[in-house]
Chain A
Amino acid sequence: MFGYITADSRTMQREDKARYQSVYCGLCRRLNRQYGNPGRAALTYDMTFVAILLSSLYHTEEAESFKRCGLHPLRKGAYISSAVIEYAADMNIILAYYKYLDDWNDDRNARARRKSKSLEQGRSMAKDRWPRQYTAISECMEQLGQMEKDNELNPDKPANCFGVLMGEVFVMQEDSFSAALRRMGAALGRFIYLLDASNDLKADIRKERYNPLIAQTDTNFKPMLDMLMSECTGEFENLPLERDLPILRNVLYSGVWTRYLKR
């Protein structure tokens, strides 16, 4: 469910790639600083998108620094620091925690258990900072778990649930943009959830695992997925954004399909 909100670097301009990377690196640095190595290991591109979106929307003040990265010693790249980066890092931690928990619950993967434990402290810190988002994420993940147990075959239910989760993540603070951001995030959440389900369908049938799309008579899910994305971009195009539009559009019109498995 995570790792889908990414850019398609093949079609990006060089400056945009550099910008995208600097936000990603900024997230990484923040995660490492706040949560140590386990935090850094939890980094995904998903929250990079959210960081760029919110920074653009709020004209967030940013500091750009240059540092040699421990993992990429040959590169001296730019990385961004800002309040939005801090927010995105905290969201990243919470989501990663629940992802590992989910993996652990799914197939008792010992590594997942260790990973989720390593994020305990981070999760708790992020929870204190962002109680609303934390509650939404934890409650939604719990409900999703229950739906899996109940073998919920109406795909709207779990999709909407994950949508609520993403919607809350998109809202850093309550303001006049909250409603639109919630709708945009929720639409993206529904899309991601069902894209993931679509990708996993065959394997889940074979392994007799839960999949919300199993009872669908029409297995051409592309139009359905397009419809879900269209709700997201419909909201997006309405937001008063100026900065980083090419990157954001790259993600929403192309990047999110990078891991879509054609049927």
Chain B
Amino acid sequence: MMEDPYKVLGVSASASEEEITQAYRKLAKKYHPDINPGNKNAEKKMQEINAAYEHIKSNKHGGVKYEQADGTYGPQQRQQQSQGGYYGWGSPFGDNWEDIFGNNGPFGGFYGGRWEQQNAGYSQLQLAATYIMNRQYQQALQILAGIHERNAAWYYYSALANAGTGNRITALNHAREAVRLDPNNTDYQSLLNRFEQGIYEYRQYGQGHGFDMSTMGRTLVNLWLMQVVGVFCCRMCAC
């Protein structure tokens, strides 16, 4: 973090949560890649803004980075235990993915030898890995939050811990990042494949049942037309 995050967002260090949010959204309106397609500078700037925002938020909330799961909302306390066999494909999220990886879990031969050469954060990563092996994903996430060096291995463990707590999007993103940072690592690729397997199977299955899975969705014009026509239409005719 080179620059002062408050400066990046253009707020004072004493700014309220609301002011910070507003500042963030104002900047996003200017630099977000969606509004600036193809603009590499805007993309870079947006990354800076996101990093600054995350930094400020995590400091305000006592070290909990926004990638953390917060399994504390009421109904979700009813831990959604994923059990039982899945026909065709299995969910790699929740507590059932050990079955998919077999007896060695996702660590197989990885745990132990390879990254002993790492210096900073070595024992912390190992601790996180241990928590993950024991299915204590929240603890693993806490440990991971405290590790500042975000290398491929960090993203790998983060993906696993997030998957265990049901943070699917974060898990997928981090698995992708691990592979991006270390493309030759078969464990990382294996994990990413596991997450992406569902995508493949969903499309295959749909195709198998006669649905054209390659053209799902509409363009903006289509959608608008559909909604305009929908006012007049009973929606049940073959149009």
Q: Which residues of A contact B (CB under 8 A)?
A: 9-11, 17, 20-21, 72, 135-136, 139-140, 143, 150-157, 159-161, 164-165, 167-168, 179-180, 182-183, 186-187, 190, 194, 201-202, 205-206, 208-209, 214-219, 222-224, 226-231, 233-235, 237-238, 249-250, 253-254, 257-262
Chain B: which residue is nearest A223 at the CB level?
B199
Chain-A contact segment, one of B104-112, B128-136, B153-161, B213-221: B213-221
Please state if A224 and B172 are interface contacts (CB–CB under 8 Å).
Answer: yes
Question: 1/0 per position for B79-110, CB-CB distance to A under 8 A?
Answer: 01111111111110100000000000000000
Contact A230 B168 (CB under 8 A): no
Are A156 and B170 neighbours in the complex by a CB distance under 8 Å?
Answer: yes
Nearest CB in chain A: distance from B79 CB, A:
11
**Interface assignment of B50: CB less than 8 Å from any CB of chain A:** yes
Contacts of B219 in A (CB 8 A): 261-262
Contact A160-B166, Cβ < 8 Å, known A72-B234, A140-B75, A208-B22: yes
The winner among A72, A165, A238 for most chain B CB atoms within 10 A is A238
- Neighbouring B residues of A17 by C-beta, 8 Å: 236
Complex Cα–Cα for A165 and B78 (A)? 12
Contact between B198 and A230, CB atoms less than 8 A apart: yes
Chain A residues within 8 Å of B201, by CB = 230, 234
Question: Main secondary structure on chain A at its contact with chain B?
Answer: helix
Partner of B76, one of A161, A201, A217, A235: A161
Contact assessment for A253 and B223 in the assembled complex, using a CB-CB cutoff below 8 Å? no
User: Does B32 have its Cβ within 8 Å of any Cβ on chain A?
Assistant: yes
Known A-B contacts A140-B73, A260-B217; A202 and B35 likewise in contact (beta carbons under 8 Å):
yes
The residue in chain A whose Cβ has the minimal distance to the Cβ of B85 is A238
In the complex, identify which listed stretch (B2-10, B63-71, B118-126, B144-152) lies at the interface while the others stay far away. B63-71
Closest Cβ of chain B to A6, distance in Å, is 8
Known: A11-B210, A226-B198, A231-B198. A205 touches B35 (CB 8 A): yes
Within 8 Å CB of A258, what residues of B? 218, 226
A261 contacts B217, C-beta separation under 8 Å:
yes
Assess whether B73 is in contact with A143, with CB atoms less than 8 Å apart. yes
Smallest beta-carbon distance A50→chain B, Å = 18
Interface residues on B, range: 35 or more
- Docked CA distance A186–B209 (Å): 23
A182 touches B80 (CB 8 A): yes
Name A12's closest neighbour in chain B (CB-CB). Answer: B238
Question: Known contacts A11-B210, A234-B89: does B75 contact A135 (CB below 8 Å)?
Answer: yes
**When A143-B73, A194-B169, A253-B209 are in contact, do A219 and B34 touch as well, CB less than 8 Å?**
yes
A260 touches B218 (CB 8 A): yes
Give the CA-CA distance A205 to B32 in the complex, in Å. 8
Asked if B211 and A253 make an inter-chain contact with CB atoms under 8 angstroms apart, the answer reads yes
Which partner residue on chain A sits nearest B201 by CB separation? A230
Residue pair A208, B167 in contact (C-beta under 8 Å): no
- Let me know if A151 and B199 touch, CB within 8 A: no
* Smallest beta-carbon distance A185→chain B, Å: 10
Task: Please determine whether A9 and B238 come into contact, CB atoms closer than 8 angstroms.
Answer: yes
